[in-house]
Structure 1
Protein backbone atom coordinates (compact mmCIF):
# COMPACT_ATOMS: atom_id res chain seq x y z
CA UNK A 1 0.00 0.00 0.00
CA UNK A 2 1.06 3.58 -0.65
CA UNK A 3 3.04 5.95 1.52
CA UNK A 4 2.99 9.77 1.62
CA UNK A 5 6.21 11.73 2.02
CA UNK A 6 6.14 15.10 3.75
CA UNK A 7 8.69 17.45 2.22
CA UNK A 8 9.57 21.10 1.81
CA UNK A 9 12.15 20.10 -0.80
CA UNK A 10 14.93 20.27 1.78
CA UNK A 11 17.81 17.85 2.18
CA UNK A 12 16.51 15.87 5.17
CA UNK A 13 13.05 15.12 3.83
CA UNK A 14 14.36 14.30 0.35
CA UNK A 15 17.04 12.00 1.79
CA UNK A 16 14.30 10.33 3.85
CA UNK A 17 12.26 9.75 0.69
CA UNK A 18 15.31 8.18 -0.94
CA UNK A 19 15.85 5.93 2.06
CA UNK A 20 12.18 4.92 2.00
CA UNK A 21 12.47 3.96 -1.66
CA UNK A 22 15.70 2.09 -0.89
CA UNK A 23 13.79 0.18 1.80
CA UNK A 24 11.13 -0.86 -0.70
CA UNK A 25 8.31 1.43 0.43
CA UNK A 26 5.79 2.46 -2.21
CA UNK A 27 6.15 6.24 -2.07
CA UNK A 28 3.17 7.35 -4.13
CA UNK A 29 2.47 10.84 -2.78
CA UNK A 30 4.77 13.85 -2.37
CA UNK A 31 3.07 16.17 0.13
CA UNK A 32 3.86 19.85 0.64
CA UNK A 33 2.29 21.99 3.33
CA UNK A 34 1.97 25.56 2.07
CA UNK A 35 1.95 27.72 5.18
CA UNK A 36 1.18 31.43 5.28
CA UNK A 37 3.40 31.70 8.35
CA UNK A 38 7.10 31.83 7.46
CA UNK A 39 7.89 31.36 11.18
CA UNK A 40 5.90 28.14 11.46
CA UNK A 41 7.22 25.68 14.04
CA UNK A 42 6.50 22.78 11.70
CA UNK A 43 6.69 23.76 8.06
CA UNK A 44 9.29 25.55 5.94
CA UNK A 45 7.96 27.95 3.33
CA UNK A 46 11.11 28.96 1.44
CA UNK A 47 10.92 27.99 -2.24
CA UNK A 48 8.03 25.63 -1.52
CA UNK A 49 7.10 25.68 -5.24
CA UNK A 50 9.96 23.25 -5.86
CA UNK A 51 8.00 20.39 -4.30
CA UNK A 52 5.56 20.18 -7.21
CA UNK A 53 8.54 19.87 -9.55
CA UNK A 54 10.08 17.16 -7.34
CA UNK A 55 6.85 15.20 -7.71
CA UNK A 56 6.93 15.68 -11.48
CA UNK A 57 10.54 14.59 -11.97
CA UNK A 58 10.03 11.57 -9.72
CA UNK A 59 6.76 10.44 -11.31
CA UNK A 60 4.73 10.77 -8.12
CA UNK A 61 1.46 12.46 -7.26
CA UNK A 62 1.74 15.95 -5.82
CA UNK A 63 -0.49 16.85 -2.88
CA UNK A 64 -0.62 20.36 -1.45
CA UNK A 65 -2.10 21.10 1.95
CA UNK A 66 -2.73 24.75 2.76
CA UNK A 67 -2.64 26.26 6.24
CA UNK A 68 -2.63 29.66 7.90
CA UNK A 69 0.30 28.33 9.92
CA UNK A 70 -1.10 29.03 13.38
CA UNK A 71 0.59 26.91 16.01
CA UNK A 72 -1.24 23.59 16.52
CA UNK A 73 -4.03 24.59 14.09
CA UNK A 74 -1.60 23.87 11.26
CA UNK A 75 -1.37 20.30 12.54
CA UNK A 76 -5.13 19.89 12.21
CA UNK A 77 -4.84 21.07 8.60
CA UNK A 78 -2.09 18.51 7.98
CA UNK A 79 -4.13 15.75 9.59
CA UNK A 80 -7.18 16.59 7.49
CA UNK A 81 -5.12 16.51 4.31
CA UNK A 82 -3.48 13.19 5.13
CA UNK A 83 -6.79 11.64 6.14
CA UNK A 84 -8.02 12.05 2.56
CA UNK A 85 -5.19 9.92 1.13
CA UNK A 86 -5.34 6.11 0.71
CA UNK A 87 -2.04 5.44 2.48
CA UNK A 88 -0.58 3.15 5.11
CA UNK A 89 2.13 5.46 6.35
CA UNK A 90 3.93 8.81 6.44
CA UNK A 91 7.59 9.55 5.70
CA UNK A 92 9.20 12.50 7.47
CA UNK A 93 12.71 13.94 7.61
CA UNK A 94 13.01 14.66 11.32
CA UNK A 95 16.57 14.34 12.64
CA UNK A 96 16.46 15.65 16.20
CA UNK A 97 13.34 17.82 16.57
CA UNK A 98 11.19 16.14 19.19
CA UNK A 99 8.50 18.77 18.56
CA UNK A 100 8.14 17.78 14.92
CA UNK A 101 8.55 14.05 15.37
CA UNK A 102 6.05 13.78 18.22
CA UNK A 103 3.39 15.72 16.37
CA UNK A 104 3.74 13.69 13.19
CA UNK A 105 3.60 10.52 15.30
CA UNK A 106 0.45 11.74 17.08
CA UNK A 107 -1.28 12.44 13.76
CA UNK A 108 -0.24 9.03 12.46
CA UNK A 109 -1.59 7.33 15.57
CA UNK A 110 -4.97 9.02 15.25
CA UNK A 111 -5.16 8.08 11.55
CA UNK A 112 -3.82 4.58 12.26
CA UNK A 113 -0.83 5.12 9.99
CA UNK A 114 2.77 4.00 10.22
CA UNK A 115 5.65 6.48 10.44
CA UNK A 116 9.04 6.16 8.73
CA UNK A 117 11.72 8.60 9.96
CA UNK A 118 15.01 7.07 8.80
CA UNK A 119 17.18 10.02 9.85
CA UNK A 120 15.92 10.12 13.43
CA UNK A 121 18.80 9.93 15.90
CA UNK A 122 21.52 10.00 13.26
CA UNK A 123 24.64 11.99 14.08
CA UNK A 124 24.40 15.41 12.37
CA UNK A 125 27.73 14.95 10.59
CA UNK A 126 26.56 11.60 9.26
CA UNK A 127 23.41 13.26 7.90
CA UNK A 128 25.20 16.06 6.05
CA UNK A 129 27.86 13.67 4.77
CA UNK A 130 25.21 11.40 3.28
CA UNK A 131 23.46 14.41 1.80
CA UNK A 132 26.73 15.48 0.17
CA UNK A 133 27.38 12.01 -1.24
CA UNK A 134 23.86 11.20 -2.48
CA UNK A 135 22.06 14.47 -3.25
CA UNK A 136 22.63 17.80 -4.92
CA UNK A 137 21.34 20.11 -2.20
CA UNK A 138 22.04 23.77 -1.50
CA UNK A 139 21.51 26.23 1.33
CA UNK A 140 18.69 28.69 0.61
CA UNK A 141 18.09 30.30 4.03
CA UNK A 142 20.44 31.37 6.79
CA UNK A 143 19.03 32.43 10.16
CA UNK A 144 21.76 32.10 12.79
CA UNK A 145 24.80 33.97 14.02
CA UNK A 146 27.82 32.92 12.01
CA UNK A 147 25.84 32.04 8.90
CA UNK A 148 25.96 35.02 6.57
CA UNK A 149 24.81 35.52 2.98
CA UNK A 150 28.01 33.85 1.82
CA UNK A 151 26.42 30.50 2.63
CA UNK A 152 23.43 31.06 0.36
CA UNK A 153 23.62 28.94 -2.78
CA UNK A 154 26.42 26.77 -1.37
CA UNK A 155 26.02 23.13 -2.34
CA UNK A 156 26.62 20.36 0.16
CA UNK A 157 30.11 18.97 -0.25
CA UNK A 158 33.04 18.45 2.09
CA UNK A 159 34.05 22.11 1.84
CA UNK A 160 30.61 23.30 2.96
CA UNK A 161 30.51 20.71 5.73
CA UNK A 162 33.85 21.98 7.00
CA UNK A 163 32.55 25.55 6.96
CA UNK A 164 29.43 24.53 8.89
CA UNK A 165 31.54 22.61 11.41
CA UNK A 166 33.60 25.73 12.06
CA UNK A 167 30.46 27.77 12.70
CA UNK A 168 29.04 25.00 14.87
CA UNK A 169 32.18 24.95 16.98
CA UNK A 170 32.06 28.72 17.48
CA UNK A 171 28.34 29.33 17.73
CA UNK A 172 26.86 25.99 18.75
CA UNK A 173 24.54 25.63 15.75
CA UNK A 174 23.14 22.23 14.86
CA UNK A 175 25.33 20.96 12.05
CA UNK A 176 22.34 19.69 10.08
CA UNK A 177 20.34 22.87 10.68
CA UNK A 178 17.72 21.06 12.72
CA UNK A 179 17.20 24.11 14.93
CA UNK A 180 16.23 26.29 11.97
CA UNK A 181 19.72 27.75 11.63
CA UNK A 182 19.51 27.21 7.89
CA UNK A 183 17.22 25.68 5.29
CA UNK A 184 18.06 23.79 2.13
CA UNK A 185 16.67 22.78 -1.25
CA UNK A 186 17.41 19.60 -3.20
CA UNK A 187 17.98 19.89 -6.93
CA UNK A 188 18.77 16.24 -7.58
CA UNK A 189 18.49 12.82 -5.96
CA UNK A 190 18.71 9.23 -7.20
CA UNK A 191 14.91 8.98 -7.44
CA UNK A 192 14.64 12.09 -9.66
CA UNK A 193 14.50 11.37 -13.38
CA UNK A 194 16.64 14.48 -13.99
CA UNK A 195 18.06 17.44 -12.06
CA UNK A 196 15.75 20.35 -11.27
CA UNK A 197 16.70 23.70 -12.74
CA UNK A 198 15.52 27.27 -12.13
CA UNK A 199 15.55 30.41 -14.25
CA UNK A 200 16.23 33.21 -11.76
CA UNK A 201 17.34 33.96 -8.23
CA UNK A 202 17.50 36.88 -5.84
CA UNK A 203 18.48 37.40 -2.21
CA UNK A 204 16.09 38.88 0.34
CA UNK A 205 17.47 39.93 3.71
CA UNK A 206 15.57 40.88 6.85
CA UNK A 207 16.46 41.00 10.54
CA UNK A 208 18.51 37.90 11.29
CA UNK A 209 17.47 36.06 8.13
CA UNK A 210 18.71 35.86 4.54
CA UNK A 211 16.86 33.92 1.86
CA UNK A 212 17.78 32.92 -1.67
CA UNK A 213 14.54 33.02 -3.62
CA UNK A 214 14.50 30.87 -6.75
CA UNK A 215 11.94 31.05 -9.55
CA UNK A 216 11.05 29.13 -12.66
CA UNK A 217 11.57 25.56 -11.44
CA UNK A 218 11.54 22.98 -14.21
Structure 2
Protein backbone atom coordinates (compact mmCIF):
# COMPACT_ATOMS: atom_id res chain seq x y z
CA UNK A 1 0.00 0.00 0.00
CA UNK A 2 1.36 3.42 -1.01
CA UNK A 3 0.28 6.07 1.50
CA UNK A 4 0.83 9.62 2.66
CA UNK A 5 1.15 10.46 6.35
CA UNK A 6 -0.75 13.42 7.79
CA UNK A 7 2.21 14.96 9.56
CA UNK A 8 2.24 17.57 12.34
CA UNK A 9 5.83 17.15 13.66
CA UNK A 10 4.44 15.55 16.81
CA UNK A 11 4.51 12.20 18.58
CA UNK A 12 1.35 10.67 17.09
CA UNK A 13 2.06 11.37 13.42
CA UNK A 14 5.69 10.26 13.76
CA UNK A 15 4.67 7.07 15.57
CA UNK A 16 2.07 6.37 12.86
CA UNK A 17 4.75 6.79 10.20
CA UNK A 18 7.02 4.31 11.99
CA UNK A 19 4.15 1.86 12.53
CA UNK A 20 3.50 1.57 8.80
CA UNK A 21 7.19 1.49 7.92
CA UNK A 22 7.47 -1.52 10.21
CA UNK A 23 4.59 -3.14 8.29
CA UNK A 24 6.57 -2.71 5.08
CA UNK A 25 4.20 -0.15 3.56
CA UNK A 26 5.42 2.39 1.00
CA UNK A 27 5.46 5.84 2.63
CA UNK A 28 5.27 8.15 -0.37
CA UNK A 29 5.14 11.53 1.35
CA UNK A 30 4.46 13.57 4.47
CA UNK A 31 1.37 15.79 4.30
CA UNK A 32 1.40 18.90 6.48
CA UNK A 33 -1.09 21.69 7.01
CA UNK A 34 0.24 24.92 8.57
CA UNK A 35 -2.72 26.95 9.89
CA UNK A 36 -2.50 30.69 10.40
CA UNK A 37 -4.82 30.35 13.40
CA UNK A 38 -3.16 28.46 16.27
CA UNK A 39 -6.61 27.55 17.60
CA UNK A 40 -7.50 25.54 14.50
CA UNK A 41 -10.11 22.83 15.17
CA UNK A 42 -8.36 20.39 12.82
CA UNK A 43 -4.63 20.99 12.88
CA UNK A 44 -1.70 21.73 15.16
CA UNK A 45 0.56 24.68 14.32
CA UNK A 46 3.90 23.15 13.33
CA UNK A 47 7.04 25.14 12.63
CA UNK A 48 7.54 25.16 8.86
CA UNK A 49 11.36 25.00 9.09
CA UNK A 50 11.16 22.07 11.50
CA UNK A 51 8.78 20.21 9.18
CA UNK A 52 11.36 20.53 6.40
CA UNK A 53 14.16 19.40 8.73
CA UNK A 54 12.16 16.37 9.86
CA UNK A 55 11.39 15.40 6.26
CA UNK A 56 15.11 15.68 5.50
CA UNK A 57 16.08 13.62 8.55
CA UNK A 58 13.43 11.00 7.73
CA UNK A 59 14.30 10.91 4.03
CA UNK A 60 10.67 11.34 2.91
CA UNK A 61 9.22 14.02 0.56
CA UNK A 62 7.11 16.71 2.22
CA UNK A 63 4.09 18.60 0.89
CA UNK A 64 3.01 21.67 2.88
CA UNK A 65 -0.26 23.53 2.48
CA UNK A 66 -0.96 26.80 4.29
CA UNK A 67 -4.43 27.08 5.81
CA UNK A 68 -6.54 29.90 7.17
CA UNK A 69 -7.27 27.71 10.17
CA UNK A 70 -10.91 28.80 10.05
CA UNK A 71 -13.41 26.16 11.10
CA UNK A 72 -14.73 24.11 8.15
CA UNK A 73 -13.02 26.38 5.59
CA UNK A 74 -9.72 24.71 6.51
CA UNK A 75 -11.12 21.45 5.13
CA UNK A 76 -10.79 22.89 1.62
CA UNK A 77 -7.08 23.32 2.33
CA UNK A 78 -6.81 19.68 3.40
CA UNK A 79 -8.61 18.54 0.26
CA UNK A 80 -6.26 20.60 -1.90
CA UNK A 81 -3.26 19.00 -0.14
CA UNK A 82 -4.58 15.47 -0.70
CA UNK A 83 -5.30 16.18 -4.37
CA UNK A 84 -1.65 17.21 -4.81
CA UNK A 85 -0.41 14.07 -3.04
CA UNK A 86 -2.61 11.79 -5.12
CA UNK A 87 -1.53 13.48 -8.35
CA UNK A 88 2.19 13.88 -7.65
CA UNK A 89 2.95 10.86 -5.44
CA UNK A 90 0.26 8.41 -6.56
CA UNK A 91 -0.90 7.67 -3.03
CA UNK A 92 -3.67 5.13 -2.48
CA UNK A 93 -4.45 6.10 1.08
CA UNK A 94 -3.76 8.42 3.99
CA UNK A 95 -2.66 7.54 7.52
CA UNK A 96 -3.41 9.83 10.47
CA UNK A 97 -2.29 9.74 14.08
CA UNK A 98 -5.75 10.57 15.41
CA UNK A 99 -6.38 9.16 18.87
CA UNK A 100 -9.82 10.29 19.96
CA UNK A 101 -11.15 13.30 18.04
CA UNK A 102 -14.39 12.33 16.29
CA UNK A 103 -14.44 15.83 14.76
CA UNK A 104 -11.10 15.27 13.00
CA UNK A 105 -11.69 11.62 12.07
CA UNK A 106 -15.11 12.24 10.52
CA UNK A 107 -13.82 15.06 8.33
CA UNK A 108 -10.68 13.24 7.21
CA UNK A 109 -12.78 10.20 6.29
CA UNK A 110 -15.28 12.33 4.38
CA UNK A 111 -12.65 14.11 2.27
CA UNK A 112 -10.71 10.92 1.55
CA UNK A 113 -13.89 9.11 0.49
CA UNK A 114 -14.61 11.95 -1.94
CA UNK A 115 -11.10 11.56 -3.42
CA UNK A 116 -11.13 7.76 -3.52
CA UNK A 117 -8.44 7.42 -0.82
CA UNK A 118 -8.42 4.88 1.99
CA UNK A 119 -7.92 6.09 5.57
CA UNK A 120 -5.81 4.37 8.22
CA UNK A 121 -5.79 5.37 11.91
CA UNK A 122 -3.71 2.82 13.85
CA UNK A 123 -3.93 4.75 17.14
CA UNK A 124 -7.70 5.27 17.11
CA UNK A 125 -9.15 4.81 20.62
CA UNK A 126 -5.94 3.26 21.93
CA UNK A 127 -5.41 3.51 25.67
CA UNK A 128 -3.68 6.88 25.88
CA UNK A 129 -1.42 6.18 28.83
CA UNK A 130 -0.23 2.96 27.22
CA UNK A 131 0.31 4.77 23.92
CA UNK A 132 2.40 7.50 25.55
CA UNK A 133 4.55 4.94 27.35
CA UNK A 134 4.99 2.95 24.13
CA UNK A 135 6.19 6.04 22.25
CA UNK A 136 8.82 6.75 24.91
CA UNK A 137 9.87 3.10 25.28
CA UNK A 138 10.30 2.83 21.50
CA UNK A 139 13.10 5.39 21.63
CA UNK A 140 11.44 8.53 20.28
CA UNK A 141 12.93 11.87 21.34
CA UNK A 142 9.71 13.75 22.19
CA UNK A 143 9.58 17.32 23.50
CA UNK A 144 6.66 19.51 24.54
CA UNK A 145 6.44 22.68 22.46
CA UNK A 146 3.22 24.30 23.66
CA UNK A 147 1.17 24.13 26.86
CA UNK A 148 -2.34 25.39 27.54
CA UNK A 149 -3.71 23.75 30.68
CA UNK A 150 -3.76 24.17 34.44
CA UNK A 151 -1.10 21.97 36.00
CA UNK A 152 1.36 22.42 33.14
CA UNK A 153 4.02 25.07 33.74
CA UNK A 154 7.01 26.55 31.94
CA UNK A 155 9.23 23.68 33.11
CA UNK A 156 7.41 21.34 30.69
CA UNK A 157 8.22 23.39 27.59
CA UNK A 158 11.20 21.97 25.71
CA UNK A 159 11.38 19.04 28.10
CA UNK A 160 12.29 15.65 26.65
CA UNK A 161 9.56 13.32 27.87
CA UNK A 162 10.56 10.26 29.87
CA UNK A 163 8.46 7.52 31.44
CA UNK A 164 8.31 9.29 34.81
CA UNK A 165 6.83 12.32 33.03
CA UNK A 166 3.96 10.09 31.93
CA UNK A 167 3.44 9.30 35.63
CA UNK A 168 3.14 13.05 36.25
CA UNK A 169 0.65 13.48 33.39
CA UNK A 170 -1.43 10.62 34.79
CA UNK A 171 -1.43 12.35 38.19
CA UNK A 172 -2.52 15.63 36.55
CA UNK A 173 -5.27 13.75 34.74
CA UNK A 174 -6.55 12.32 38.02
CA UNK A 175 -6.33 15.69 39.80
CA UNK A 176 -7.33 18.18 37.09
CA UNK A 177 -8.75 16.08 34.27
CA UNK A 178 -6.18 16.95 31.60
CA UNK A 179 -5.85 14.54 28.71
CA UNK A 180 -2.73 12.40 29.12
CA UNK A 181 -1.94 12.53 25.40
CA UNK A 182 -2.83 16.21 24.92
CA UNK A 183 -5.89 15.39 22.81
CA UNK A 184 -7.82 18.27 24.36
CA UNK A 185 -5.23 20.82 23.26
CA UNK A 186 -3.45 20.73 26.64
CA UNK A 187 -0.06 20.42 24.95
CA UNK A 188 1.69 19.85 21.63
CA UNK A 189 4.91 17.99 20.90
CA UNK A 190 7.72 17.61 18.39
CA UNK A 191 9.92 14.58 17.70
CA UNK A 192 13.63 15.12 17.02
CA UNK A 193 14.90 11.56 16.73
CA UNK A 194 13.73 7.97 16.84
CA UNK A 195 13.87 4.58 15.13
CA UNK A 196 12.49 5.92 11.82
CA UNK A 197 14.93 8.85 11.62
CA UNK A 198 18.00 8.52 9.41
CA UNK A 199 19.64 11.46 11.19
CA UNK A 200 18.93 13.17 14.51
CA UNK A 201 17.83 16.78 14.83
CA UNK A 202 19.04 19.27 17.45
CA UNK A 203 17.41 22.61 18.14
CA UNK A 204 17.98 25.87 19.96
CA UNK A 205 14.95 27.77 21.16
CA UNK A 206 13.40 30.53 23.23
CA UNK A 207 10.33 30.19 25.44
CA UNK A 208 7.49 32.72 25.40
CA UNK A 209 4.85 32.59 28.16
CA UNK A 210 1.40 34.18 27.96
CA UNK A 211 0.52 33.12 31.51
CA UNK A 212 1.68 30.64 34.16
CA UNK A 213 0.02 27.77 32.31
CA UNK A 214 0.12 28.89 28.68
CA UNK A 215 3.25 29.27 26.58
CA UNK A 216 5.27 27.95 23.70
CA UNK A 217 8.69 27.05 22.41
CA UNK A 218 10.02 29.16 19.54
CA UNK A 219 12.78 27.54 17.53
CA UNK A 220 15.74 29.78 16.72
CA UNK A 221 18.12 27.24 15.16
CA UNK A 222 17.87 23.74 13.70
CA UNK A 223 20.78 21.35 13.16
CA UNK A 224 20.48 18.05 11.29
CA UNK A 225 22.88 15.19 11.88
CA UNK A 226 24.61 16.83 14.82
CA UNK A 227 25.61 14.28 17.46
CA UNK A 228 25.22 16.90 20.18
CA UNK A 229 21.71 16.11 21.49
CA UNK A 230 21.65 19.03 23.94
CA UNK A 231 18.65 21.32 23.36
CA UNK A 232 19.69 24.71 24.70
CA UNK A 233 17.09 26.97 26.24
CA UNK A 234 17.28 30.77 25.99
CA UNK A 235 14.19 32.18 27.65
CA UNK A 236 12.55 35.36 26.36
CA UNK A 237 10.78 37.86 28.59
SS state at 2:109 partner: helix
Equivalent residue for 1:64? 64
SS state at 1:170 partner: helix
Equivalent residue for 1:78? 78
Q: Aligned equivalents of 2:61 and 2:174: distance in 1?
A: 41
Equivalent residue for 1:191? 196
Equivalent residue for 2:107? 103
Equivalent residue for 1:19? 19
Equivalent residue for 2:96? 92
Shift of 1:92: 0.7
Equivalent residue for 1:133? 137
Equivalent residue for 2:153? 148
Shift of 1:49: 2.7
Shift of 1:46: 4.2
Shift of 1:10: 0.4
Q: Contact 2:146–2:188 at 8 Å: present in 1 too?
A: yes
SS state at 1:169 partner: helix
Shift of 1:48: 4.0
Q: Contact 2:9–2:46 at 8 Å: present in 1 too?
A: no
SS state at 1:188 partner: coil
Kindly indicate whether residue 184 of structure 2 is the aligned counterpart of residue 179 of structure 1.
yes
Which deviations, in whole Å up to 9, do the C-alpha atoms of 1:199-218 show, x marking residues without a partner? x2111112552101123223
Q: Aligned equivalents of 1:201 and 1:67: distance in 2?
A: 25
Q: Contact 2:34–2:46 at 8 Å: present in 1 too?
A: no
Q: Aligned equivalents of 1:68 and 1:213: distance in 2?
A: 21
Q: Aligned equivalents of 1:38 and 1:24: distance in 2?
A: 35
Question: How high is the TM-score relative to the length of structure 1?
Answer: 0.95
Equivalent residue for 2:230? none
Q: Aligned equivalents of 1:55 and 1:61: distance in 2?
A: 6
Shift of 1:105: 0.9
Work out the number of aligned pairs and report it: 217
Equivalent residue for 1:118? 122
Q: Contact 1:46–1:141 at 8 Å: present in 2 too?
A: no
Q: Contact 1:8–1:48 at 8 Å: present in 2 too?
A: no
**Structure 1: gaps (5+ residues):** none
Q: Aligned equivalents of 1:117 and 1:215: distance in 2?
A: 33
SS state at 1:155 partner: coil
SS state at 1:129 partner: helix
